[in-house]
Amino acid sequence: MRFTSEESSAGVCEQLFTLDEIPGVLWTPEGAAGTRPLILMGHGGGEHKKAPGIVSHAHRFVAEYGFAVAAVDVPGHGDRPTEEEYNRIAAENRARVEAGEELAPLVAGFQALVARQTVPEWQAVLDAIQRLEHVGAGPVGYWGVSLGCGLGVPFVATERRVRAAVLGLGGALASASAAAKISVPVEFLLQWDDERVPRAQGLALFDAIASAEKTLHANPGKHDEIPAFEIDSTLRFFARHLS
Amino acid sequence: MRFTSEESSAGVCEQLFTLDEIPGVLWTPEGAAGTRPLILMGHGGGEHKKAPGIVSHAHRFVAEYGFAVAAVDVPGHGDRPTEEEYNRIAAENRARVEAGEELAPLVAGFQALVARQTVPEWQAVLDAIQRLEHVGAGPVGYWGVSLGCGLGVPFVATERRVRAAVLGLGGALASASAAAKISVPVEFLLQWDDERVPRAQGLALFDAIASAEKTLHANPGKHDEIPAFEIDSTLRFFARHLS
């Protein structure tokens, strides 16, 4: 793990790093020392580790609760090189949608393929970050919607260090079998008028999660229109389960 | 409006009253003076104005936010006399369920009938309580699940003073047309394994609510198993919209 930059603002320290060619970012309270909860955030499709939604959530997790937050670029996103195979499949999928195929099953298949690479990558990132003195081996949370849900469900299902997860904007097609292996508390965000994930698919994914404690928060609006007040709920959810 | 008793505990003043033969209870902060938000609470079927769930919610609304809270007995419940017609219909419905009919449509029809009586009763209660110096004509909220939702949906749809409502554990059969007239923010509680309200009926009622801001909170468990953490969310919802 190699740190390439460090800067602070408003009490939040941001460190860019690379780990085995994976570019990442770690946010911690300025001057932090000792073990604290760590939240790994998975970004959306076409976004990257420092997308505005990731940065604003991360700053609140750090500033209001003293958590550490990490995000890394998904293969083919952000500062990572183009992935010829993924690009080829994405182009094929676009053509199939234009030819009349349903979008959701194609997205689901693609996310399942990428997750086979990201689950071990994210585990390696946890290993490295939890060895840092100012993070340590505290409880871990996961936050990811849309692509961050498609990749997050198999990650949360596999990685025992994760104690609580916020997921959403994803459907059951790719993730139902992995969701059935999740047992930690989950807050699941669903957009009632999601133009990319059919409502029934989102409800079916929530249904498939095996956790005894899981809450569905559904709000009107499209895929990218999660209301601002949900961030407050997310903060309290992680505070309840990780503090 | 006639007050029949008054006592205080832990900073919460509880006054029993009757208004035109309707027995009710009003909770306010001890020593309250001046206008404040008022929450009307509708109790569940077979319960009454001082059911434990009502009392515990009311105490938190009063103690933590300084709100006033009122609840009255639904006809045939609590301190009200037996209603021969309602009893006859309820007995008929029990017989029809034993003979194999579906429960949900019968409950829906019954609640629609009772609502024709309770909507004007509750409006008269608001009128009377808002004339009290220690409550005044501030913003009004409504809270009611199960029977309190079946009766609450037509009330919230009709009564313009209501600015925000918590509803839930109800289905679309009785309430969809009234729900389409609701435009205030709604937090809607649904139990994922509700044995009394089919899941699709609950989702359809949430769908039918016309409000631009509405949030569905769905949790695993049966009709009577809303998790304790939802009360915290309810408190913040009312604080956001009534304070």
Higher pLDDT residue, B173 or A188? A188
The two structure tokens encoding residue B98: 């034993």
Mean pLDDT of A197-218: 97
Residue A179's pLDDT is 97
Instruction: Enumerate the residues of chain A whose CB falls inside 8 A of the CB of residue B213.
Output: 219-220, 227
SS (H, E, C) chain A: CEEEEEEEECCEEEEEEEECCEEEEEEEECCCCCCCCEEEEECCCCCCCCCHHHHHHHHHHHHHHCCEEEEECCCCCCCCCCCHHHHHHHHHHHHHHHCCCCHHHHHHHHHHHHHHHHHHHHHHHHHHHHCCCCCCCCCEEEEEECHHHHCHHHHHHHCCCEEEEEEECCCHHHHHHHHCCCCCCEEEEEECCCCCCCHHHHHHHHHHCCCCCEEEEEECCCCCCCCCHHHHHHHHHHHHHHC
Residue A230's pLDDT is 96
Res A105 pLDDT > 90: no
List the single residue in A212, A216, A229 with the smallest CB-CB distance to B216: A216
Given a contact cutoff of 8 angstroms between Cβ atoms, the answer to whether A58 and A27 are in contact is: yes
Report strand pairing: B186-191 vs B162-168.
Answer: parallel
Instruction: Enumerate the residues of chain B whose CB falls inside 8 A of the CB of residue A220.
Output: 212-214
Q: Tell if the CB–CB gap between A216 and B212 is shorter than 8 Å.
A: no
Res A174 pLDDT > 80: no
Task: Name the phi and psi angles at A190, rounded to 5.
Answer: -130, 135
Instruction: Enumerate the residues of chain A whose CB falls inside 8 A of the CB of residue B233.
Output: 233
Per cent of chain A over pLDDT 70 is 100
Instruction: Enumerate the residues of chain B whose CB falls inside 8 A of the CB of residue A215.
Output: 217-219, 227
Output Rg (C-alpha) for chain B, integer angstroms: 17
Ranges in chain B, pLDDT < 50: none
The pLDDT tens digits for A22-59 are 999 999 999 999 999 999 999 999 999 999 999 999 99
End-to-end CA distance of chain B: 27
Instruction: Give residue A205's domain range.
Output: 2-242
Residues in chain A whose beta carbon is closer than 8 A to a beta carbon of chain B? Answer: 190, 192, 203, 206-207, 212-220, 227, 229, 232-233, 236, 240
Q: Tell if the CB–CB gap between A219 and B219 is shorter than 8 Å.
A: no
Instruction: Enumerate the residues of chain B whose CB falls inside 8 A of the CB of residue A240.
Output: 229
Q: What CATH number has the domain bearing residue A89?
A: 3.40.50.1820
Whole-angstrom Cα distance, residue A103 to residue A43? 20
Higher pLDDT residue, A175 or A43? A43
Report strand pairing: B22-29 vs A2-9.
Answer: unpaired
The complex's ipTM works out to 0.87
Q: Tell if the CB–CB gap between A192 and B216 is shorter than 8 Å.
A: yes
The pLDDT tens digits for A70-79 are 999 999 999 9
Q: Tell if the CB–CB gap between A219 and B220 is shorter than 8 Å.
A: no
Whole-angstrom Cα distance, residue B212 to residue A221? 9
Report strand pairing: B162-168 vs B214-219.
Answer: unpaired
Given a contact cutoff of 8 angstroms between Cβ atoms, the answer to whether A69 and A43 are in contact is: no
Mean pLDDT of A106-113: 89
Given a contact cutoff of 8 angstroms between Cβ atoms, the answer to whether B35 and B136 are in contact is: yes
* Average pLDDT along chain A: 96
Q: Give the residues across from B14 on adjacent strands.
A: B7, B27
Residue of B nearest to A211 (CA): B220
Q: Tell if the CB–CB gap between B220 and A232 is shorter than 8 Å.
A: no
* DSSP-assigned states of every residue in chain B: -EEEEEEEETTEEEEEEEETTEEEEEEEETT--S---EEEEEPPTT--TT-HHHHHHHHHHHHHH--EEEEEPPTTSTTSPP-HHHHHHHHHHHHHHHTT--HHHHHHHHHHHHHHHHHHHHHHHHHHHHTSTTT-S--EEEEEETHHHHTHHHHHHH-TTEEEEEEES--HHHHHHHHTT--S-EEEEEETT-SSS-HHHHHHHHHH---SSEEEEEESS-TT---THHHHHHHHHHHHHH-
The two structure tokens encoding residue B178: 């009234």
The two structure tokens encoding residue B127: 């009128």
Res A88 pLDDT > 90: yes
Q: Tell if the CB–CB gap between A217 and B216 is shorter than 8 Å.
A: yes
The two structure tokens encoding residue B190: 């649904």
Residue of B nearest to A227 (CA): B213
Give residue A107's pLDDT band: very low, low, confident or very high (50, 70, 90).
confident
Instruction: Enumerate the residues of chain B whose CB falls inside 8 A of the CB of residue A168.
Output: none
How close does chain B come to A59, measured CA to CA in Å?
Answer: 22
Which of B186, B201, B217 is most worth mutating to test chain A (most A CB atoms within 10 A of its CB)? Answer: B217
Scored b (16 or more CB within 10 A) or e, A130-169 reads bebebbbebbbbbbbbbbbbbbbbbbbbbbebbbbbbbbb
The pLDDT tens digits for B75-106 are 999 999 998 999 899 899 999 999 999 888 88
Q: How many domains does chain A fold into? A: 1
Mean pLDDT of A154-158: 97
Residue A103's pLDDT is 84
